[in-house]
Amino acid sequence: YMSPIPINASMGMLASLIIAFVFTPWLTNILLAKVHLSHDAEHSDSYNEKNEKNDKLNAFFTRLMSPFLQGRAGQRNRWLLLLGIFVLIALALLLVANKMVVLKMLPFDNKSELQVVLDMPEGSSLEQTSRVLHEIGGFLDTVTEVTDYEVYAGTASPISFNGLIRQYYLRKGANVGDIQVNLIDKQHRQRKSHEIALAIRQPIQTIARKYSGNAKIVEVPPGPPVQSPLVAEIYGLDYTGQIREAKQIRQLFENTADIIDIDDSIEYPSTKFTVVVDRQKAALLGVNQAAIVQALATVLNGADVTYLHDKHLKYPAPVRLEYSEIDKADLEQVLALRVRSESGNLVPLLEIIQLQKGTREHNIYHKDLLPVVFVTADMGGVVDSPLYGMFEISAELENNNSLAQYFISQPENPYEYTLKWDGEWQITYETFRDMGIAYAVGLLMIYLLVVAQFRSYLVPLVIMAPIPLTIIGIMPGHALLGAQFTATSMIGMIALAGIIVRNSILLVDFINQLLSDGIALHDAVVQSASVRAKPIILTGIAAMIGGFFIIDDPIFGGLAISLIFGLLVSTLLTLLVIPVVYYAAMEKR
């Protein structure tokens, strides 16, 4: 889903490299061909001014680095510097533990549509479902950001990517309904679509609960959709036992703060009446059983009793006979029907039938050929990330010694009651796992590349040392702006590794050049920072400016925050850390 980002970034870097080595020299030669650059008397003032600035920069880095380069005191200060960096990294990671930086797969996008999904109790009439949907629609009329909406009673709304994954297109029956809500363009409203969804959720659910229904506010996901943000799958040997366990899990969901849109796959128990014909009595009265069945089918489902023929009609028009919807819903009215016996007498159905009251059979859902009961939910509130709600519920289950829980793989033993967590957690785990592997492979390839360049196994470790410094800027940056750490933030963090290594290579390569010219190691590391500081800082600022153009984007804002704050902190620390670490590694070599 995110593959276009690294592909385009890699192609962009390749193109910029070609431009830097081919186009830039060519254009410089054309534009500056007639410009005479010399350091004669008329330019001596500017030349001296430039040297004075370089001397100031060199003096600054000398004062900054000298405490880390002088004898035993310098060695002690280097250890203190290392300890301070570890403390800063730990404090940055502590922001995640304290929920000051929230982990989430992808942030909510600002879409122009919402969906209201209504589930009424099984056995509810289509008219009742339609009544609830139109009452919800009446409330939506009062929301200023809503332009229009479409009500679908007894059927599903037009299929969408989200509905395809959540199988909304299969919803069919008198007890289900959808409302497709369209919002005004995001340029003409102050609230984002997610804020609107949070605002209308409680009033809509209040209307649905008044009629024993369950309404969910469904937002179009910014990334790969899942069945629900929070999914608990209950497995076991007996489906009745699975339902019992699922009800307890749902109760735990309802008792957990900020868990919203709670639902399950357990069907509402509805009454079923079975008509049993008293064969002996029907035979005595001369009533055929087939006549009884046909009469009930006619009044409930309708039957074509005759046809009308007209010269203006291409096909005969059927005359259909059936009860009205009101009479169909009245059991006494249905059973008041009379059927004709073989003698021609009308016999009431109540005299020749018996009613057996029971409960409708429920559907049994399967996953990987195993029967399963789903408990689904979402999370709102301040944290607004289903991962934290899942871990809170999981901890509560652990404290109660409840079901065995599986987070990654499917349950091993299908003969015991177990819980498998799915939903956004599964796709978040797989995404960050794959990107973590890619990050490790990328670091390995960078290491091998630098080994080939410097013919050393130690120098590449020095060059790659500042990579963890990006965390010191990324996490506080997200906390400062109140942003969630998402998959795009992780992509920015991976991209920073290459940028920081580039700066390190510039510093180390310049140090080696100075050493080859006979300059002492102490002076070489100081001069590398003072001379390379300006180009390194300028390239960092250029990359940071590019990030500001997407920092307001709801999806790629995390990438921009990682680039801006990661570059800001790591670039400044690199100018100190790389020379000092290189000095410590090469002092006795």
Specify the range with the lowest mean pLDDT, choosing from 220-229, 404-413, 514-523, 580-589: 220-229
Q: Can you tell me the mean pLDDT for 38-63? A: 63
Q: Is the pLDDT of residue 51 over 80?
A: no
- Three-state helix/strand/coil letters over 301-337: HCEEEEEECCCCCCCCEEEEECCCHHHHCCHHHHHCC
**pLDDT above 70 coverage of the chain, percent:** 96
Specify the range with the lowest mean pLDDT, choosing from 35-44, 185-194, 255-264, 268-277: 35-44
Question: For residues 410 and 33, which has the higher predicted lDDT (pLDDT)?
Answer: 410
- Residue 53's pLDDT is what? 59
Cα–Cα distance for residue pair 99/108, rounded to 1 Å:
18
Question: For residues 126 and 220, which has the higher predicted lDDT (pLDDT)?
Answer: 126
- Residue 47's pLDDT is what? 45
Q: Is the pLDDT of residue 484 over 90?
A: no
Q: Could you give the count of Cα atoms lying within 13 Å of 74 in the half-sphere of its Cβ?
A: 15
- Residue 52's pLDDT is what? 57
Q: Is the pLDDT of residue 178 over 90?
A: yes
For the segment 528-541, what is each residue's pLDDT rounded down to a tens digit? 888 888 888 898 89
Q: Could you give the count of Cα atoms lying within 13 Å of 407 in the half-sphere of its Cβ?
A: 10
| Confidence category of residue 36, pLDDT binned at 50, 70, 90 | low
| Confidence category of residue 325, pLDDT binned at 50, 70, 90 | confident
Cα–Cα distance for residue pair 144/148, rounded to 1 Å:
10
- Residue 340's pLDDT is what? 86
- Residue 229's pLDDT is what? 86
Which residues contact residue 265 at a Cβ distance below 8 angstroms, ignoring those fewer than 6 apart?
246, 363, 365, 373, 374, 375
- Residue 389's pLDDT is what? 87
| Confidence category of residue 386, pLDDT binned at 50, 70, 90 | confident
Q: Can you tell me the mean pLDDT for 559-572? A: 90
pTM metric for this prediction:
0.74
Q: Can you tell me the mean pLDDT for 35-49? A: 54
Q: Can you tell me the mean pLDDT for 224-253? A: 88
Q: Can you tell me the mean pLDDT for 369-392? A: 87
Burial 420-450 (b: 16+ CB within 10 A, else e): bbbbbbbbbeebeeebeeebeebbeebbeeb
| Confidence category of residue 238, pLDDT binned at 50, 70, 90 | confident
- Residue 362's pLDDT is what? 81
Q: Is the pLDDT of residue 41 over 60?
A: no
- Residue 222's pLDDT is what? 66
Q: Judge contact between 295 and 339, C-beta under 8 A.
A: yes
Cα–Cα distance for residue pair 491/438, rounded to 1 Å:
10
Kindly report the average pLDDT of the chain as a whole number.
Answer: 86
Q: Judge contact between 212 and 120, C-beta under 8 A.
A: yes
Selecting from 3.20.20.80, 3.30.470.20, 1.20.210.10, 3.30.70.1430, what CATH number does the domain 110-220 have? 3.30.70.1430
CB atoms closer than 10 angstroms to residue 124: 22
Structure tokens at 40: 């004669």
Q: Can you tell me the mean pLDDT for 399-409? A: 85
**Which residue type is seen at 23?**
F
- Residue 1's pLDDT is what? 65
Query: Does the domain at residues 272-359 carry the CATH identifier 3.30.930.10?
Result: no
Q: Can you tell me the mean pLDDT for 330-342? A: 85
Which residues contact residue 8 at a Cβ distance below 8 angstroms, ignoring those fewer than 6 apart?
none
Bridge partner residues of 273 (DSSP): 357
CA angle 77, 80, 81 (to 5 degrees): 85
For the segment 81-105, what is each residue's pLDDT rounded down to a tens digit? 889 999 999 999 999 888 888 888 7
Q: Can you tell me the mean pLDDT for 146-159? A: 91
Q: Is the pLDDT of residue 327 over 60?
A: yes
Q: Is the pLDDT of residue 550 over 90?
A: no
Sign of CA dihedral 257, 261, 266, 269: positive
Q: Which of 121, 270, 272, 117 is nearest to 210 (CA)?
A: 121
**pLDDT above 90 coverage of the chain, percent:** 21
Domain edges within the chain: 54-98+456-587, 110-220, 272-359
Burial of residue 35 (number of CB atoms within 10 Å: 0-12, 13-18, 19+): exposed
Q: Can you tell me the mean pLDDT for 177-195? A: 90
| Confidence category of residue 116, pLDDT binned at 50, 70, 90 | very high
Structure tokens at 176: 């289900």
For the segment 441-479, what is each residue's pLDDT rounded down to a tens digit? 888 988 998 898 888 888 888 888 888 888 999 999 999
What sections of 482-520 are H helices per DSSP?
A: 487-516
Q: Which of 423, 564, 434 is nearest to 493 (CA)?
A: 564
Cα–Cα distance for residue pair 292/279, rounded to 1 Å:
11
- Residue 181's pLDDT is what? 93
Q: Judge contact between 371 and 257, C-beta under 8 A.
A: no
Q: Judge contact between 373 and 263, C-beta under 8 A.
A: no
The DSSP line for 167-208 is: TGGG--STTEEEEEEEE--GGG-SS-HHHHHHHHHHHHHHHH
- Residue 272's pLDDT is what? 85
Q: Judge contact between 420 and 410, C-beta under 8 A.
A: yes
Selecting from 1.20.1640.10, 3.40.1160.10, 3.10.450.350, 3.90.180.10, what CATH number does the domain 54-98+456-587 have? 1.20.1640.10
- Residue 551's pLDDT is what? 87
